């Protein structure tokens, strides 16, 4: 009966009015995020300088790339965790104390401010990186896609010719002539004279035609018999080789083009795997940094309420 009377009086007293202060203090959050970003930038720059001094373009010199990658990943994890933990600590420590709420609630809000420091810092970093490095990332992605394409790109590029052009290849076949192979040694010099007098444009057109044939063959992973015969005859007419030797030369050239295609795809696949692993490591490091920022915020709030401070080398300081 008494409890019901108290409830009636409370209801009659009017609606409950919230506190005059805000639960979220953005001043402390921004200060903590700026602190974390500054420390992270300085330490990552310092680590990059050390990493560049440890590598070398010369073979068998400097530390291995895989060891450098491991050290770099660990350094990134340590830097992100430490910087956001300190930024969260500053935010929790500088937040205005509220003595009218329970200690568990105060600890939660202090930890939440540390988490907000991490969220704001990551958001700002993502925006800055997206603005400054967007073009670089796009260029790298396009390059990786071109490498993965392999056949249509690698062989023509090696021959200084355009990529696979189906229409150009069809026109080549329509205008394809039947060169005469000069097998006799006595006609080799005359053939060389004819080739020299034909002009650079004819030689360049022939190179482009061969490039288009190889591009189409690489896309099918096989050289068509008629294309092989034509290239053999073309090689024989320009080099004076016997037909059998010209065929071997064509086969060797196509094998080299296939090796280049395989190497380009392997490089693209290696870059893809490295990018995927790097992305997972960065995400994991940022998640650890989020936990560290929340813990730092809670520690800062506890030191604020207990009049404590950070201790370095046995002394209370900042700094």
Which range (21-35, 270-284, 300-314) has the least confidence? 300-314
In a domain? residue 13: no
pLDDT in tens, 129-178: 777 665 554 554 554 455 545 444 444 444 444 445 555 555 555 445 55
| One domain, residues 279 and 142 | yes
Which range (33-47, 189-203, 239-253) has the least confidence? 189-203
Give CA–CA dist 177/230, Å, rounded: 9
In a domain? residue 310: yes
**In this predicted structure, what is the pLDDT of residue 170?**
54
Q: Is residue 18 predicted with pLDDT exceeding 60?
A: no
| One domain, residues 140 and 159 | no
| One domain, residues 103 and 175 | no
The helix-helix angle for 243-306 and 151-158 (nearest 10°) equals 120
- pLDDT averaged over the chain? 74
**In this predicted structure, what is the pLDDT of residue 134?**
56
**In this predicted structure, what is the pLDDT of residue 287?**
94
CB 47 within 8 A of CB 256: no
pLDDT in tens, 239-278: 778 888 888 888 888 888 888 888 888 888 888 888 888 8
Q: Is 113 exposed, middle or buried (0-12, 13-18, 19+ CB in 10 A)?
A: buried
Nearest to 254 by CA among 221, 299, 295, 207: 221
| One domain, residues 169 and 140 | no
**In this predicted structure, what is the pLDDT of residue 77?**
92
**In this predicted structure, what is the pLDDT of residue 13?**
43
In a domain? residue 125: yes
Which pair of tokens denotes residue 288?
């650890």
| One domain, residues 237 and 311 | no
In a domain? residue 242: yes
| One domain, residues 192 and 299 | no
pTM over cut 0.85: no
| One domain, residues 139 and 281 | yes
| One domain, residues 133 and 235 | no
Structural domain for 225, as ranges: 152-264
CB 161 within 8 A of CB 207: yes
Q: Which residue has the higher pLDDT, 129 or 94?
A: 94
Mean pLDDT of 271-300: 91
**In this predicted structure, what is the pLDDT of residue 145?**
55
């Amino acid at each position: 009966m008494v409890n019901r009377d108290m409830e009636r009086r409370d209801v009659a007293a009017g609606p409950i009015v919230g506190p005059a202060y805000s639960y979220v203090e953005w001043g402390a959050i921004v200060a903590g995020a700026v602190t974390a970003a500054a420390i992270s930038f300085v330490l990552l720059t310092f680590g990059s300088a050390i990493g560049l001094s440890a590598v070398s373009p010369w073979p068998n010199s400097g530390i291995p790339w895989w060891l450098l990658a491991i050290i770099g990943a660990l350094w990134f994890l340590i830097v992100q965790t430490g910087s956001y933990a300190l930024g969260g600590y500053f935010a929790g420590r500088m937040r205005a104390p509220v003595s009218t709420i329970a200690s568990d609630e105060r600890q939660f809000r202090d930890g939440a401010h540390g988490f907000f420091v991490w969220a704001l810092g990551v958001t700002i970093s993502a925006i800055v990186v997206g603005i400054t490095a967007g073009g670089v990332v796009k260029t790298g992605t396009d390059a990786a896609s071109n490498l993965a394409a392999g056949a249509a790109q690698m062989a023509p590029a090696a021959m200084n010719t355009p990529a696979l052009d189906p229409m150009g290849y069809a026109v080549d076949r329509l205008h394809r002539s039947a060169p005469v192979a000069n097998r006799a040694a006595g006609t080799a010099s005359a053939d060389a004279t004819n080739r020299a007098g034909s002009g650079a444009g004819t030689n360049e057109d022939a190179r482009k035609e061969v490039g288009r044939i190889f591009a189409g063959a690489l896309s099918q992973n096989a050289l068509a018999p008629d294309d092989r015969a034509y290239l053999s005859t073309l090689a024989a007419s320009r080099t004076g080789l016997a037909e059998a030797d010209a065929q071997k030369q064509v086969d060797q050239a196509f094998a080299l083009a296939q090796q280049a295609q395989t190497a380009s795809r392997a490089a693209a696949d290696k870059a893809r795997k490295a990018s995927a692993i790097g992305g997972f490591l960065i995400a994991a490091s940022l998640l650890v940094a989020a936990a560290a920022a929340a813990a730092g915020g809670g520690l800062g709030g506890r030191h604020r309420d207990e009049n404590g401070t950070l201790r370095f080398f046995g002394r209370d300081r900042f700094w």
